[in-house]
């Protein structure tokens, strides 16, 4: 019995009471009604009479020791958790900053453009970024030897030995989606098509191997050039304000006849300049034929806008590369 008491004394002295959980285990093991100390007390009655007094005295000491250890550890735990709380009491302390995500300047510009065209009665369509030669070039009336088909401009996903018909390319513009829409949906069609396009160009502040366009297509009977220009002017006014200065110039694209380009006047510290924001025109009869529509009754206009140029003008960004590098220092300037 005495040796058991010595053993327990030793164990209690060395008990680790550094957490609430350990403290509770200690209480259950030694101090609870069915704990080790109480069960030893019960054994005192079985001892010889001359041993009982000594054992009783030692047991009382043991119990006192366990209780004292327990109370002391409880106090210590409580005061250390009080300290934790008091560290939080100064509610004026600055908190760790948190950063919420925000829309990329290109996405914002694209959203604004989409909203304008939704107001003008267009819907929004999409098409694939990997295209076949037919949609990207042939159906859009590019002659077989057109320089845009050249290796220097186009990223080929598959370059066929058997001629360009089987080529697969990263689309060089969003115009192939015009072909898809006209093949899928009978007129009237009135859609804008935002998306990424790719060209194998030297990377500079002004050009990049990928950029973003927004295509527009309106196909119906008796569509006129006047309606095209009115649509583009309305777009420019809604995008840049009613006092925007613009000009419309004749141009050339294989898939439109006649073709135009629109510039807007941009004032900057270094003086103003005309900047081209889009190409457009009346859908060429050859394009209608390629998709199986009768050019005698079907008319339409199309346009293709450079979203990057429009975003750069809008936000005063002078290097197109910053739009694709996703440097957090640029993106943070656009958080709401």
Binding site for ligand DAH (CB under 6 A): 173, 175, 215, 253, 256, 279-281, 302-304
Task: For ligand DAH, give the closer residue by CB, 67 or 220.
Answer: 220
Q: How far is the CB of 172 from ligand DAH (least distance, A)?
A: 7
What is the number of other CB atoms lying within 10 angstroms of the CB of residue 101? 7
Q: Quick one: 41 or 155, whose CB is closer to ligand DAH?
A: 155
| CB 331, min distance to ligand DAH, A | 27
Question: Nearest distance from residue 328's CB to ligand DAH, in Å?
Answer: 31
Considering beta carbons, is residue 187 or 279 the nearer one to ligand DAH?
A: 279
Nearest distance in Å: CB 210, ligand DAH: 13
Handedness of CA 136, 141, 145, 148 (dihedral sign): negative
Closest-CB residue for ligand DAH? 304
Contact 277, 305 (CB under 8 A): yes
Contact between 197 and 174 (Cβ < 8 Å): yes
Nearer to ligand DAH, 109 or 172 (CB): 172
Among candidate residues 90, 96, 124, the one with its CA nearest the CA of residue 110: 124
CB of 252 to ligand DAH, least distance (A): 9
CB nearer to ligand DAH: pick between 105 and 279: 279
Query: For the range 51-55, what are the long-range contacts, defined as Cβ-Cβ under 8 Å and sequence gap of 24 or more?
Result: 51/1, 54/2, 55/1, 55/2, 55/5
In the complex, what is the shortest distance from the CB of residue 242 to ligand DAH, in angstroms, rounded to a whole number?
A: 25
Pairing of β 123-124 and β 189-198? parallel
> Which class for 275: exposed (0-12), middle (13-18), buried (19 or more C-beta within 10 A)?
middle
Nearest to ligand DAH of 58, 135 (CB atom): 135
Place of tokens 């250890």: 69
| Long-range contacts of residues 144-152, Cβ cutoff 8 Å, at least 24 apart | 146/254, 148/172, 151/200, 152/200
């Amino acid at each position: 019995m005495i040796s058991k008491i010595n053993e327990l004394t030793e164990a209690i002295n060395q008990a680790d009471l550094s957490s609430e959980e350990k403290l509770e285990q200690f209480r259950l093991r030694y101090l609870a009604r069915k704990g080790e100390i109480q069960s030893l007390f019960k054994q005192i009655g079985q001892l010889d009479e001359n041993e009982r007094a000594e054992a009783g005295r030692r047991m009382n000491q043991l119990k006192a020791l366990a209780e004292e250890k327990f109370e002391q550890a409880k106090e210590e735990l409580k005061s250390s958790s009080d300290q934790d709380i008091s560290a939080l009491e100064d509610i004026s302390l600055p908190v760790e900053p948190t950063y919420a995500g925000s829309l990329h300047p290109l996405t914002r510009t694209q959203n604004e453009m989409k909203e304008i065209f939704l107001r003008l009665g267009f819907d929004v369509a999409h098409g694939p970024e990997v295209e076949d030669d037919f949609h990207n070039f042939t159906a859009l009336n590019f002659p077989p030897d057109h320089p845009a088909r050249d290796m220097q401009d186009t990223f080929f996903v598959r370059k066929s030995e058997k001629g360009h018909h089987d080529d697969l390319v990263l689309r060089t513009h969003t115009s192939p989606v015009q072909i898809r829409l006209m093949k899928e949906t009978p007129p009237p069609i009135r859609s804008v098509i935002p998306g990424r396009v790719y060209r194998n160009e030297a990377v500079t502040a002004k050009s990049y191997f990928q950029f973003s366009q927004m295509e527009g297509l309106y196909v119906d009977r008796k569509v006129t050039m006047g309606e095209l220009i009115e649509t583009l002017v309305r777009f420019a006014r809604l995008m840049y304000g009613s006092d925007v200065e613009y000009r419309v110039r004749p141009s050339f694209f294989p898939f439109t006849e006649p073709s135009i380009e629109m510039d807007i006047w941009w004032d900057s510290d270094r003086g103003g300049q005309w900047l081209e924001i889009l190409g457009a025109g009346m859908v060429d009869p050859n394009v209608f034929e390629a998709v199986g529509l009768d050019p005698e009754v079907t008319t339409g206009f199309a346009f293709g806008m450079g979203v990057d140029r429009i975003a750069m003008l809008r936000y005063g960004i002078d290097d197109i590369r910053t739009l694709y590098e996703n440097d957090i220092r640029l993106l943070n300037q656009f958080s709401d």
